[in-house]
């Protein structure tokens, strides 16, 4: 899979509904939480429990049109429509399909915002070697594997990767998303909407199907904290996803990690930190944010997170040929992880190339050498398979082959 795929095959592009919503158009309900929905209902002279019905319809039943919400009386549905309300869930407008089953989506978010948001679906997730930090332990795979109906599907488990911003301000030198700069923050509804739209596309039954969610698409979730956690809250409390099947990845935004450490267990996803280098010198060269929050400051913040039993912090580590992939780097990473005192594992990601980015993929054998060195030092280590490179869906590749 170490081939360089610079352009995606146009035959893999399936164009769906690409019309943009009218910017002066209807008011979306999607993205409002239960309390806000109850307040809308109260304004309409309805009892507050109608808010709960609406939340159920939007986030659990995944209904995309007000007319479908048959728990509401027909007259109320008509009235909401006449008052300019609509479900307004973000829509998948384009699908790119990879030879490996991965799909990348362009999703149209808020009204009047031309730029699409990107999300990725990875069937068969990462088969345990993962790297998304959310692989189940073996026992639970056997205990609640797919049932009989599940056997007819083309996937047994899947991982959904969503974006938190369009573009990113963090400027990691090896990342294609960084080239966009920060275009805008996504709203909680746009973040949760990516998930709900993808669940719907694949007819996922929450509670039965094994779906992991990773906040590892475009953007830095901890620089859009309220929307990110707002989305988590909707997805946990309304859609019914477990925070223990969610992982958020940060480049090391210390104030964000500190806030995250205060989140209650029943809402807090697992945490992955993009370490990416064995020391501050190299990290500072490839991740300028290290100048503001060096490794030790990040680790101090991470240590404030009260982990659940058996939970571990994931350190992501991008292997850049000649820059971070040497065996002495692996030994240094092992020392760093041990010294951190954190229950941790390392997810190795071979760098995915992008146009105009002057790094190299790790040499053949370097990835395995790095992995074996960490393993020999007793560090739990996983390789993240490159998924969907041919459609620009792999880590760090989002947003380039977009809109034309």
- Out of ligand SF4, ligand SAH, none, what residue 395 binds, judged by CB under 5 to 8 A for its kind, is ligand SAH
The nearest distance, CB 239 to ligand SAH, in angstroms, is 21
Q: How many residues bind ligand SF4 (CB under 6 A)?
A: 11
Shortest distance in whole angstroms from residue 170 CB to ligand SF4? 3
Q: Is residue 251 within the footprint of ligand SF4 (CB under 6 A)?
A: yes
Residue 362 or 396 having the CB closest to ligand SF4:
396
The contact set with ligand SAH (CB under 6 A) reads: 168, 174-175, 216, 220, 249-251, 274, 276, 316, 318, 349, 351-352, 354, 395-396
Q: How far is the CB of 175 from ligand SF4 (least distance, A)?
A: 3
DSSP string, 18-44: -PPPPTT-PEE-TT--HHHHHHHHHHT
Could you say which of ligand SAH, ligand SF4, none residue 162 binds, taking C-beta under 5 to 8 angstroms by partner kind?
none
In the complex, what is the shortest distance from the CB of residue 272 to ligand SAH, in angstroms, rounded to a whole number? Answer: 7
Say how many C-beta atoms besides its own lie within 10 A of residue 378's C-beta: 10
Instruction: Scan residues 162-191 and list those touching ligand SF4 (CB under 6 A).
Output: 168, 170-172, 175, 177-178
CB nearer to ligand SF4: give 169 or 375. Answer: 169
- Binding-site partner at residue 232 among ligand SAH, ligand SF4, none, CB < 5 to 8 Å by type: none
Alpha carbon separation from 185 to 165, 256, 289, 402 (Å, rounded):
5, 15, 19, 18
- Nearest residue (CB) to ligand SF4, 159 versus 239: 159
> What distance lies between CA 399 and its chain's CA centroid?
14
| Six-digit token string for 75 | 């007259």
Q: Sort 222 into a burial class: Cβ within 10 Å, 0-12 / 13-18 / 19+.
A: buried
DSSP conformation letters of 92-103: EEEEEE-TTS-E
- The verdict on whether 168 is a catalytic residue reads no
User: Taking CB under 6 A as the rule, does residue 277 contact ligand SF4?
Assistant: no
C-alpha torsion 190→188→53→208, nearest 10: 80
Report 378-397 residues binding ligand SF4 (CB under 6 A): 396
Residue 66 tokens read as: 């007000």
- Find the binding residues for ligand SF4 in span 298-317 (CB under 6 A): none
Cβ contacts of 339 within 8 Å, gap of 6 or more: none
Catalytic residue, candidates 113, 118, 190, 220: 118
Question: Does the annotation mark 395 as catalytic?
Answer: yes
Distances (CA, A) of 37 to 60, 335, 369: 15, 51, 54
Q: Which residue do the tokens 């978010």 mark? A: 109
Q: Phi and psi (nearest 5°) for 365?
A: 95, -25
Which are the catalytic amino acids?
118, 395
- Residues binding ligand SF4 (CB under 6 A): 168, 170-172, 175, 177-178, 219-220, 251, 396
């Amino acid at each position: 899979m170490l081939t360089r795929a610079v352009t995606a095959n146009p035959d893999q592009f399936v164009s769906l509904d690409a019309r943009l919503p009218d910017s002066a158009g209807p008011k979306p309900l999607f993205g409002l939480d239960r309390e806000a929905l109850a307040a809308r209902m109260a304004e309409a002279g309805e009892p507050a429990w109608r808010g709960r019905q609406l939340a159920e319809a939007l986030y659990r039943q995944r209904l995309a049109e007000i007319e479908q919400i048959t728990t509401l009386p027909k007259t109320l549905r008509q009235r909401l429509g006449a008052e300019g309300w609509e479900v307004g869930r973000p829509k998948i407008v384009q699908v790119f399909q990879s030879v490996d089953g991965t799909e990348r989506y362009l999703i149209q978010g808020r009204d009047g915002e031309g730029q699409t948001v990107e999300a990725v679906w990875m069937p068969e997730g990462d088969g345990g070697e993962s790297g998304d930090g959310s692989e189940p332990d073996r026992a639970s795979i056997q205990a609640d594997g797919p049932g009989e109906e599940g056997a007819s599907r083309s996937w047994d488990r899947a991982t959904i990767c969503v974006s938190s911003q369009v573009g990113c301000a963090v400027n990691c030198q090896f990342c294609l998303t960084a080239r966009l700069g920060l275009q805008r923050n996504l709203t909680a509804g746009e973040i949760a909407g990516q998930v709900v739209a993808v669940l719907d596309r694949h007819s996922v039954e929450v509670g039965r199907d094994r779906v992991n969610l990773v906040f590892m698409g475009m953007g830095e979730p901890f620089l859009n904290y309220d929307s990110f956690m707002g989305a988590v809250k909707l997805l946990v409390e309304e859609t019914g996803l477990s925070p223990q099947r969610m992982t958020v990845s940060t480049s090391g935004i210390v104030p964000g990690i500190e806030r995250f450490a205060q989140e209650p267990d029943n809402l807090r996803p697992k945490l992955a930190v993009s370490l990416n280098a064995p020391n501050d010198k190299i990290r500072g060269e490839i991740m300028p944010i290290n100048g503001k929050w060096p490794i030790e400051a990040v680790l101090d913040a991470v240590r404030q997170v009260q982990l659940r039993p058996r939970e571990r912090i994931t350190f992501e580590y991008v292997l850049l040929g000649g820059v971070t992939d040497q065996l002495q780097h692996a030994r240094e990473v092992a020392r760093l992880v041990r010294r951190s005192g954190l229950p941790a594992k390392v997810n190795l990601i071979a760098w995915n190339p992008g146009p105009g980015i002057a790094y190299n993929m790790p040499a053949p054998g370097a990835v395995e050498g790095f992995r074996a060195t960490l393993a020999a030092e007793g560090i739990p280590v996983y390789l993240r398979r490159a998924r969907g490179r041919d459609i620009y869906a792999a880590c760090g590749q989002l947003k380039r082959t977009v809109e034309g």
